Amino acid sequence: MKYITAIILTLLTVGSIAAQTRSSVPENLVGKWFEGSASILQEKNTMTGAVASRYGSSIGYEINSDGTFQYAGLMKSTLYGCTTTLWNDRRGKISIAGDVITFTPVKDYWLNTYSCSPSSNKEKNKELEAKSYNFEVGTKDGKEYLCMREVGKTEVKDILCYPRTND
């Protein structure tokens, strides 16, 4: 009986330590942060016949309380009836130290397609490289934003801000 109790206590202690070290993601950072836009002008794709916005994009992050992230970047542009699509799917782990967040991907997939010349389509898994950003979560005009700038960069133009989304 003492042996079983000792095993149970050991498992509970290990589980408790794992739960404590599992994530140090601040609660206000957890969620979906996406920025997107679309042109009101439309154009017909000559290959598919579909009518769509000339330009559209959706780019952002989902940050999870378990210390993982997913990044999705989608940009589409239709010009003269031909559609170019760029897609990036990046996933991995994050770590936070003060105001620095580091994204360490375990996947970084890229796809580039061109409807008028499918033979030029490209897809690849990029080399996995960690990137660190200074970050801040703030509110502007009643909307919450996650703003980041790659560590070492100092220009205002280098700041990227993503509004919190509820979907």
Tens of pLDDT, residues 96-128: 999 999 999 999 999 999 988 999 999 999 999
With 90 as the cut, is the pLDDT of residue 43 above it? no
The least confident of 17-31, 98-112, 125-139 is 17-31
Confidence of residue 54 (pLDDT cuts 50, 70, 90): confident
DSSP helix/strand/coil, 29: helix
Indicate the DSSP class of residue 127.
P
Q: Which residue has the higher pLDDT, 24 or 136?
A: 136
Q: Which helix (H) or strand (E) holds 161?
A: strand 160-165
pTM for the whole structure: 0.76
Please answer whether residues 101 and 135 qualify as being in contact, where contact means their C-beta atoms are separated by less than 8 angstroms.
Answer: yes
Q: State how far the alpha carbon of 49 is from the alpha carbons of 81, 82, 113, 123, 128, in Å.
A: 9, 10, 17, 24, 38
Whole-number pLDDT of residue 23: 52
Please answer whether residues 89 and 71 qualify as being in contact, where contact means their C-beta atoms are separated by less than 8 angstroms.
Answer: yes
Whole-number pLDDT of residue 101: 97
Token pair belonging to 131: 């990137």
The least confident of 6-10, 26-30, 68-72, 113-117 is 6-10
With 80 as the cut, is the pLDDT of residue 1 above it? no
